[in-house]
Structure 1
Amino acid sequence: MSDLSAYISKKEEKYIVDAIKTAEKNTSGEIRVHVEKKCPADDAFDRALEVFEKLEMHKTELQNGVLFYVAIEDHKFVICGDKGINDVVPKNFWESTKDIVISNFKLGNYSQGLVDGILKAGEELKAHFPYQSDDENELSDQISKA
């Protein structure tokens, strides 16, 4: 695990984790954020899929996990949704969510970009996978780092 504190402060990390908790409060969906300095793969989407599996996001009961992947120094960003959520979101949903995040990134507002994207994804998850009384938080809300 590398030190990413130069990019995301502890306060910003808490802000992002709180957004994940807020987004997941009304849905059975699961959201994770993975941050690393550089993307070790030629293709950022391939790397996001690799991280998705490593974090066992494909094991959620309803296949409704969403990964926000960021390679800071390479300026790479991918949103990766599992089959369950991908099958039900509007056609341009991930691109429009990605646009919100990237527009913030371009202004240097990295944590706000992630928070805005996470909350938007949470609303969509809520619409298709509402919270059930027996729901369990299947995945950690903490930011994964490499």
Structure 2
Amino acid sequence: MTGKSRASAHPLLRWPRHLWTDEADVRRQLGAAGLKRLQAQVRASEVQHLGELRLCIEGGLSWQDLTGGQTARSRALHLFSTLRVWDTEHNNGVLIYLLLADHRIEILADRGIMARAGHEHWAHIAQQLAASLHDGQFEQGLSQAIASVTQLLAAHFPVDPEQDNPNELPDRVVVI
């Protein structure tokens, strides 16, 4: 599930964007208050369903990752594993990953939710987020993506008042 990409550009054009775009650029785009609002939205989301949601925004890839041919997709898969999004009781974790330097979006869903909500749902969310980012609505686009994922998870993994709903993963927005 990908959004608009500049990753297909010649590697020599891609490298400077990555080397000049970093965590500080992500923080400037959102600000401390924006990051807190998104974290609060993730927290509020997870009381509405049995799923887990992680939001990860990366400024740019390292020189080593670039020379190794790392793509946004492979980086998102690595983070899906590292952040343990796959390690939830119902196999219904979702990672929203944004690689700022490439304007690339990856939404990865674990097998439990993928079995119930197909590829087209995730692609639509990524397309909406890409449009918002293109319009300069960084926080609003991410907020809408979280809301859309929340709706899918709530529809397919609703909270049962009789059942415990532990917070299995941190709600903090990962900024790299």
The interval holding the TM-score normalised by the smaller chain is: over 0.9
Which string of whole-angstrom CA distances, capped at 9 and with x for unpartnered residues, describes residues 79-105 of structure 1? 110110111004410011111111110
* Pair 1:145 & 2:165 matched: no
Match of 1:21 among 10, 21, 43: 43
| Residue aligning to 1:11 | 33
Match of 1:37 among 39, 59, 81: 59
Query: Distance in 2 between the 1:89 and 1:2 partners?
Result: 32
Query: Distance in 2 between the 1:90 and 1:34 partners?
Result: 22
Kindly state the Cα deviation for residue 145 of structure 1 after the two structures are TM-superposed. Answer: 2.0
1:64-103 to 2 correspondence within 5 Å? 64-103=92-131
| Residue aligning to 2:85 | 57
Query: In the comparison of the two structures, how many residue pairs are matched?
Result: 146
User: Which runs of 5 or more structure 2 residues have no equivalent in the other structure?
Assistant: 1-21
Query: Distance in 2 between the 1:80 and 1:90 partners?
Result: 11
CA 1:2–1:104: 2 relative to 1, 3 Å? closer
SS state at 1:6 partner: helix
1:114-125 to 2 correspondence within 5 Å? 114-125=142-153
Kindly state the Cα deviation for residue 129 of structure 1 after the two structures are TM-superposed. Answer: 0.7
RMSD: 1.6
**Contact 2:49-2:153 at 8 Å conserved across structures:** yes
More displaced stretch, 117-126 vs 87-96: 87-96
Normalised by the length of structure 1, the TM-score is 0.92
More helix by share: 2
- Identical columns (%): 28
Higher Rg of the two aligned structures: 2
User: Which runs of 5 or more structure 1 residues have no equivalent in the other structure?
Assistant: none
SS state at 2:102 partner: coil
More displaced stretch, 78-87 vs 9-18: 9-18
